[in-house]
Structure 1
Amino acid sequence: MVTADDPATLVANSALFDHQVSAEGAADFLSRPGHILFLALSPDGEGVGFVSGVEMRHPDKQPEMFVYELGVDKDWRRRGVAKALLGALRGEARSRGCTGMWTGTEAANGPAIATYQSMGATVDTASVFITWDKL
């Protein structure tokens, strides 16, 4: 798990993310309680994938883990990296007392859906995500 004292690791592995990781953004994410990030490394120490999660709690529910983002370098896909990362996040979620894990993805993202299902997830096709792009 990448810890709050190592934001430079995320900056150095920006190629795995959608956008360039800033030192400020990495430090802020890693310092927030309940924010978790696992980084998968190749045998030579290069980052090949990551999973981030956020522990969530509502007053009338048990804690649960939101799988914020999962990314694996294209050259490392279909080698078990995503499953290992999700397994690490699930283990961390259990250690924190979370009773479930959830995420969202595009309906057309077959590889992600297949990965989640292979890890025991079910697909809820009745749910709808509502987003606000500007606040």
Structure 2
Amino acid sequence: MDIRRARSCAELVAAEGLFDGPAREEWARRFLDAPGHLMLIAYVGDVPVGMVSGVEMTHPDKGAEMCLYELSVDEAHRRRGIGRALALALADEARARGCYGMWVGVDTDNGPALATYESAGAEDEGVFTMRGWALG
């Protein structure tokens, strides 16, 4: 397995099977062009088998931190350490960028995700609730 940073729309489109839906060229370009946005793709040979996206956020009184936005591993390649390797690779990238920490929001009933993040060193920071706005 090889983990590489996605730098082109073609790489994102080729990995769209790892996303919730098809990749759109316009959104792929916007993602790649946005400062602080990062996508790492895991390959077996030339086949994308996993991805992790991160968004670096900076606040005036805190500095920069990395949000692990989404992690996905192709079903046929799960339980082989790919998700853990992707989370650790994103943490390494965050550290190299000078981030003071990294976090992820995860559903409390998503056992596989919780196990993956724990195996990569994430710790439970307590109860978390999320509220959302549908703007579309």
What is the match of residue 80 of structure 2?
A: 79
1:2 corresponds to 2:6:
yes
Q: Which residue of 2 aligns with 1:125?
A: 126
Equivalent runs, 1:11-90 vs 2, <5 Å: 11-43=13-45, 45-90=46-91
Q: When the two structures are superposed, what TM-score results if normalisation uses the length of structure 1?
A: 0.93
Q: How many residues align?
A: 132
Q: Moved runs in structure 1, 4+ residues, more than 2 A?
A: none
Shift, 1:33, TM fit: 0.4
Letter in 1 for 2:44: S
Q: 2: CA distance between counterparts of 1:23 and 1:62?
A: 32
What's the secondary structure of 1:93's corresponding residue? helix
**1:131 partner amino acid:** G
Amino acid of the structure 2 residue aligned with 1:69: E
The one-character-per-residue Cα deviations of 1:4-23 (angstroms, maximum 9, x if unpaired) are xx111111221110010011
Q: Which runs of 5+ in 1 are unaligned?
A: none
Q: Which amino acid aligns with 2:21?
A: H
Q: TM-score, normalised by structure 2?
A: 0.93
AA matched with 1:113: L
Identity %: 48
CA RMSD, 1 decimal:
1.1
Gaps of 5+ in 2: none
* Structure with greater proportional strand content: 2
